Amino acid sequence: MSLKEDINYSLWCDFIERDFLENRFQEIIKDEIIQGATSNPAIFESSITNSVAYKQQLDMLQANNEKTIYEELALTDIKRAAQLLSDLHKANNDDGFISIEVDPSLCDDAQGTIEEGLRLYSSINAENVMIKVPATEAGYIAMRELTSKGIHVNATLIFSPIQAVKCAQALDEGIKDSNKDIKAVVSVFVSRFDRMCDGDFINKGLETSKLGIINATKCYHEVNKFGNKNIRTLFASTGVKGKELAPSYYIDNLIFPNSVNTAPLATIEDWLKDGVQEESEIMCEKKCDEYFKTIALKNVNMNKIYDDLLTQGLDAFKVSFKDLLAKLIN
């Protein structure tokens, strides 16, 4: 029995690019390697500016403003991805999703996020689309409203257990209000913790490459407390930088029941080749809490780490989006 069937575990590809959609993407769907896909402003910035596949449509759109051009390009890809994933979604409506993120500059604007989420969802007109909303105070309001209106939501840029709880609460309330079979994921970022903190941990005599996984596990426990099977924890930012770890390290250690891992294509292929193909041992919540107490004794300030990572994440997406818009007018 596969991991998908056994524990409702899914692997989604964290990449969108037009030529990829017409080639390798279809192969990994057919071969049942992935069960969905995600995108973000940084991915689109890289794809649209580095691939010649967008040139013809880009030239045709030059009479429009930058954001209109971006949306036409991005929505073309999202619609195509949704079409390619539609059979998967029909077979199992937990999967077969593609995500598109609202304009990152709206991260503190609840009403603006709601309006853009509704507009994007309507423009794509596909059942298997998730609207991606950052986990800010405004974002929690938008998540609740969008799910209550029957829209699937990917809550993103989650670093702290508090964020995970607030997202799960908003999504749980919205899904229940909708009276529909609405799905949502709580996207917990993983590897960025270790990239930020490992140098300091070495100096303090703490084990490296552990914080991201233990923090993600704590968030997973918090989401599961809501008991809503339509809300799954999604482990994001799971690519490995450098050669200290196995390329599939952040997949190998987070294969949990009723969860999703979204990873870059190269990471997925490394996992298929050499990775662990069985359910991971899950650290109990008590041990997660003990770990945080241990590192606090070494003057590790988790609240500052959470705040810094969220700020960096929001800023990075804003910069990617702004840079992309600036490149769209010839």
Closest CA to 178 of 132, 138, 139, 231: 231
Rounded to 5 degrees, φ, ψ at 14 are -95, 65
Q: How many CB atoms lie within 10 A of CB 329?
A: 12
Residues in CB range of 66: below 8 A, 6 or more apart: 325, 326, 328, 329
Separation CA 234–CA 262 (nearest Å):
7
Neighbouring-strand partners of residue 271: none
Tell me how long the chain is. Answer: 330
Residue 2 tokens read as 């596969």
Separation CA 254–CA 36 (nearest Å):
17
Residue matched to tokens 């997406």: 317
77 close to 18: Cβ distance less than 8 angstroms: yes
Query: Which residues are the active-site residues?
Result: 132
Neighbouring-strand partners of residue 134: 156
DSSP 171-227: HHHHHHHHTS---EEEEEE-HHHHHHHHHHHHHTTPPSS-HHHHHHHHHHHHHHTT-
